[in-house]
Structure 1
């Protein structure tokens, strides 16, 4: 009797086990289907809303625009930027100004914001809007501008060439400008010149140059005697612990007028000497 009861209970467990497994699978499928079909909420969101960067680098944000409606919606992008700032929107690598969204869909949008290099270090709020006929979605970003170092070396006139007479000196005027947003300290000037050329700077060292300020530097360039006439390249460089800049300058070397006259005189004397020798010894 006990044996028959155990066999009967075992058969019942074997019979109900597949039923319970099928019931669990069905319940799980219904739950996942419900989760999938759950409608999305229209929104404009960013993974990171606060980004810090120097003024010479762009601020890059990854955002997501969601159309939670049951209709096709066209969104136009709008941003309130400080003066001189620029913004671009990219979807799958292409730059856009608007986006057509399918119903109940989400789309990732890459946003890049740039500010002028002279922007002062501070926190700047960037309100964004995705505007459609149905609604307006807003997103508030923050760009934290750090100080930046940048240096520029040029000439006051922009001219990068000059002439010099062989064996003489030439004064060249350079312009050093701090184009960053932070002061630059301990700036040193140097040169790379053709063999035996010399250059002295006035001043040769700059203790400090404030942001946005510029300073003129005089360069006394000395060309050695007997330098062959032609074009020569001179390179001037300025360095600081945080930034550096350089400029290539073309020098056109000419011979002096006196040297030309002396050369002509030597030629004439040589011709005269040849003529004299011919007259004196030519008949023999």
Structure 2
């Protein structure tokens, strides 16, 4: 015969079992997301602004809402000269395997062409699986870049001169960026007692893709020892600088050479005279 206590304990046990099964089902459901039939391809930010020298980085999420697994290929339509890479779990990929109901974070990195004009560019990105295509329209706003080079008309960066003389070196300053450059100064780093001047000494403005020639006059002191020296000319701007390192070969002047030979001959003659005069004593 069942007691009241036994009946109460039996009911409590059944309630506990029911609650346990219910909670277990909820946990399993949370751990294994079911396919909801709605696949998606989204991004936290679709519009990013950067210079051409910087990387446009987008954080996107791809969700497979289908009831079956599939392989999704990642594609993009880029302007000429641009590059793109897709990364999943830290590795670069061109496609990802998606289980049913799976969500995958994908990082997209875009490099603009160095010659891209400042503007807004639309970057259509697609996740393709069979006949299904998910589209994501990204925007890259190029704000331009600064670029500056200093070289010679021929590209040659070595010169020769004799001690005590001067040398005129033709230089070319070029704006290799996409934004104008203003107030470009010229400076030099030379061996001790050397001198340099520039004509013109400053460029007030230089448009993108344009270049300007100038002259550097280099003066070497009289008593400079023959040999190889380094002379650095630099174009400076608040947005950057461009050095050009020259190899300067200094030679002894012809007059100095003859004077040296004459001194040697006189020394030999003096020794010979002394030997002739005092050698017999």
Q: TM-score, normalised by structure 2?
A: 0.87
C-alpha separation in 2, matches of 1:37 and 1:203: 71
C-alpha separation in 1, matches of 2:69 and 2:160: 69
1:64 aligns with 2:61: yes
C-alpha separation in 2, matches of 1:163 and 1:131: 63
After TM superposition, give the deviation of residue 246 of structure 1 in Å. 1.6
> Could you report, residue by residue, the CA deviation over 1:177-201 in whole angstroms, capped at 9, with x for unpaired residues?
1112111111110111111100011
> Could you report, residue by residue, the CA deviation over 1:153-172 in whole angstroms, capped at 9, with x for unpaired residues?
22222222222211111121
Give the structure 1 partner of residue 187 of structure 2. Answer: 190
- Whether the 8 Å CA contact 1:118–1:212 is kept in 2: the answer is no
C-alpha separation in 1, matches of 2:82 and 2:172: 28
CA RMSD of aligned residues (A): 2.6
Give the structure 1 partner of residue 42 of structure 2. Answer: 45
1:152 aligns with 2:149: yes
SS at match of 1:61: strand
Q: Which stretches in structure 2 are left out of the alignment for 5+ residues?
A: 1-10
Give the structure 2 partner of residue 278 of structure 1. Answer: 275
Q: Match for 2:94 among 97, 101, 117?
A: 97
C-alpha separation in 1, matches of 2:19 and 2:154: 83
SS at match of 2:274: helix
After TM superposition, give the deviation of residue 265 of structure 1 in Å. 1.7
Count of matched residue pairs? 274
SS at match of 2:109: strand
Give the structure 2 partner of residue 4 of structure 1. Answer: none
C-alpha separation in 2, matches of 1:99 and 1:24: 39
Single out whichever of 110-119 and 220-229 deviates more from structure 2.
110-119
Give the structure 2 partner of residue 11 of structure 1. Answer: none
- Whether the 8 Å CA contact 1:47–1:62 is kept in 2: the answer is yes
In structure 2, relative to structure 1, the CA distance for the partners of 1:220 and 1:234 (3 Å cut) is: same
Q: TM-score, normalised by structure 1?
A: 0.86
Q: Which stretches in structure 1 are left out of the alignment for 5+ residues?
A: 1-15
Q: Match for 1:233 among 230, 235, 239?
A: 230
